[in-house]
């Protein structure tokens, strides 16, 4: 009988060499605990609840996988994985509670704003108060100023007065220049001392003084102007008592004037 060689034995599963052991796979349990702790911390920070939910759910998944490895003997940190599950679950709960509180706060704020808006009166025909129309009081007619009789020796440049009578004057009826008048005092001067020079000499000197000041006041020479000059000068009687004053007044022949004739260039 022919003998056949025996078949080689079937290969046995690989066995690690004597004295060597496989390293424990503890990474997932450790990561679960870290994620759980971070999730709890982030979960108490407003507006970061969404991040705590993500960390907590991730920690739960890693914790369960790490715990399963510890049960199979592939990991040695089963307790750490368990704490990772617990802390991750706490992170999820904290984030959900915080989110609910935040939503409630916003809801209360919205209701308060709505109530305040509802209590605010809208400008309808019922509650709109039409402000009273302010009307100006009728203008009171100002009575014309009564002319004041002023001594001719006390007249000043800028005084205005109404029509005067002929002959020797002692007073004139002065009114504000803003009211109708005839004459406006525009210059004053004094004649030289000495004996009374006579009426013709007084007239000549007075006209010379008044015409010399005319153009600077009106803005036009006396010869070119339509305006004329009225003057008050000493008489023989007043000369003897020391009167040397010459008062030059301007007027518009034939009509009254309202306001000053200064700079009119007429």
Considering the domain boundaries, does residue 214 fall inside one?
A: yes
Return left, alpha or beta for 15; rule: phi > 0 is left, psi -120 to 50 is alpha, else beta.
beta
Considering the domain boundaries, does residue 258 fall inside one?
A: no
Considering the domain boundaries, does residue 93 fall inside one?
A: yes
CA distance 184 to 182: 7
**What residues contact residue 26 under an 8 Å CB cut-off, 6+ apart?**
66, 75, 76, 77, 80
Taking only the tens place, the pLDDT of each residue in 87-103 is 888 878 887 887 788 77
Q: Which of 118, 140, 170 is the last residue of a domain?
A: 118
Considering the domain boundaries, does residue 261 fall inside one?
A: no
Name the band, by pLDDT with cuts 50, 70 and 90, for residue 119: low
Residues 107 and 51 in one domain: yes
Residues 231 and 178 in one domain: yes
The answer to whether the CB of 166 falls within 8 A of the CB of 196 is: no
Percentages (nearest 5) of helix, strand, coil residues in the chain: 40, 10, 45
Residues 233 and 162 in one domain: yes
Considering the domain boundaries, does residue 195 fall inside one?
A: yes
Considering the domain boundaries, does residue 159 fall inside one?
A: yes
Considering the domain boundaries, does residue 70 fall inside one?
A: yes
What is the total count of domains within the chain?
2
Taking only the tens place, the pLDDT of each residue in 168-198 is 668 888 999 999 998 999 999 889 888 998 9
Which residue range(s) make up the domain with 113? 27-118
């Amino acid at each position: 009988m022919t003998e056949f060689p025996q078949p080689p034995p079937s290969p046995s599963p690989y066995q690690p060499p004597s004295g060597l052991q496989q390293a424990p796979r503890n990474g997932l349990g450790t990561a679960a605990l870290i994620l759980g702790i971070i999730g709890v911390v982030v979960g108490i920070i407003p507006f970061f609840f969404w991040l705590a939910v993500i960390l907590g759910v991730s920690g739960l998944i890693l914790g369960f996988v790490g715990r399963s490895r510890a049960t199979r003997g592939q990991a040695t940190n089963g307790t750490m994985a368990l704490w990772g599950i617990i802390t991750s679950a706490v992170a999820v709960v904290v984030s959900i509670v915080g989110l609910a509180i935040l939503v409630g706060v916003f809801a209360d704020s919205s209701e308060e704003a709505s109530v305040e808006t509802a209590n605010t009166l809208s400008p309808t025909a019922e509650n709109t108060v039409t402000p009273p129309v302010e009307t100006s009081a009728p203008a009171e007619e100002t009575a014309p100023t009564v002319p004041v009789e002023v001594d001719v020796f006390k007249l000043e440049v800028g005084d205005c007065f109404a029509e005067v009578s002929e002959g020797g004057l002692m007073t004139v009826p002065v009114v504000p220049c803003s009211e109708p008048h005839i004459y406006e005092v525009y210059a004053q001067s004094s004649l030289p001392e000495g004996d009374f020079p006579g009426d013709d000499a007084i007239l000549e000197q007075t006209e010379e003084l008044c015409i010399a000041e005319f153009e600077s006041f009106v803005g036009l020479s006396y010869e070119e102007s339509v305006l004329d000059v009225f003057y008050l000068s000493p008489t023989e009687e007043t000369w003897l008592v020391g009167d040397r004053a010459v008062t030059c007044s301007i007027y518009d022949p034939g009509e009254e004037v309202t306001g000053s004739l200064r700079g009119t260039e007429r």
